[in-house]
Structure 1
Amino acid sequence: MMGSEWVRLERYEGPWEPDDPDANFKAEVADYGRLDPLHTLAGLSAHTGIPVGALARYVLARFATTGSGGLLELGPAMVERLREPVRRAEAEATDEARLAAYRELAALLGWLGAPLDDPELYPGA
């Protein structure tokens, strides 16, 4: 278990095979590795008074829990409603069932996204 041990920030440059299923992610890690995140965190620390280490922990925890955060925002019941059409379609394993699942998901996502389309809630969105 890692806990709050020291972590060395290092660059990653590969190599990876073109057919590696994680090739896009590895390329992104390599691209972002060219940046120095501590420069940004130092500026934010100076502005807010929050220690750099606390900011780094926040950034890592926030990124690492993004999926869990989405679950908390949507709620378990809605996540299950979104998963169910896919489960049914995959169990039936037909193009018709998958198209029906797509239409059901599109309707649910349209309903969830409706507030984003409201110019009073999100002007300029």
Structure 2
Amino acid sequence: MSEDWWIDEDGETVVRLRRWRGLWLEDDPHANFKAEVQLYGRLDPLTTITGMSRNLDIPVGAITRYVLARWASGGSGGLLELGPVMVPRLWEPIAAAEAEDSDAGRLAAYHTLRQMISWLKVPLDDPSVYP
């Protein structure tokens, strides 16, 4: 059990929102993120969330859960939409171009990626492709 979160009597997770004023070493690889945690910690997110709750008639906890889930799963959500097989395929031309280290190789990678992405865009441009 943490002092910042716990499970209530209904089995729901309860989170205590708090500011963080930690310290880190200058060469900490996560220094930028930690600085943002402190910077954004100065704001009160409930000002916006309570306004949304009032205007949309959605409970504060539901909106907060949505915001956290949406932000925290942003990268993995994109991966799920693309599929775990497609990401390495998209990376291959980039890796090859960087290994070649030439403008011609990078331009060829651009054209390969453009073709692959245009193929991925087909259902967005024509939703009838998938029933």
TM-score by length of 1: 0.68
The DSSP-based 3-state class of the residue aligned with 1:6 is strand
Choose between structure 1 and 2 for higher RCO, CA contacts under 8 A separated by at least 6 residues. 1
- Change over 3 Å in CA distance of 1:103–1:45 after alignment to 2: same
Offset, 1:98? 8.8
Deviation digits for residues 48-107 of structure 1 (CA, Å, limit 9, x no counterpart): 001000000000100110111111333334312123346x65xxxx85269787555544
Please list every run of 5 or more consecutive structure 2 residues that lacks an aligned counterpart in the other structure.
Answer: 119-131
**2:50 equivalent to 1:50:** no
- Change over 3 Å in CA distance of 1:95–1:76 after alignment to 2: closer
Please list every run of 5 or more consecutive structure 1 residues that lacks an aligned counterpart in the other structure.
Answer: 114-125
Aligned-residue sequence identity (percent) comes to 55
Aligned with residue 82 of structure 1, among 73, 81, 90: 90
**Which residue of the partner structure matches residue 48 of structure 2?**
40
**2:18 equivalent to 1:14:** no
Q: Distance in 1 between matches of 2:37 and 2:109?
A: 31
Task: Give me the CA root mean square deviation.
Answer: 3.4
- Change over 3 Å in CA distance of 1:66–1:98 after alignment to 2: farther
Higher deviation after alignment, 66-75 or 37-46: 66-75
**Which residue of the partner structure matches residue 121 of structure 1?**
none
- Change over 3 Å in CA distance of 1:97–1:25 after alignment to 2: same
**2:63 equivalent to 1:59:** no
**Which residue of the partner structure matches residue 100 of structure 2?**
96
- How many pairs are equivalent? 111
Higher strand fraction (1 or 2): 2
**2:13 equivalent to 1:5:** yes
Q: Distance in 1 between matches of 2:61 and 2:15?
A: 11
**Which residue of the partner structure matches residue 35 of structure 2?**
27
- Change over 3 Å in CA distance of 1:15–1:109 after alignment to 2: farther
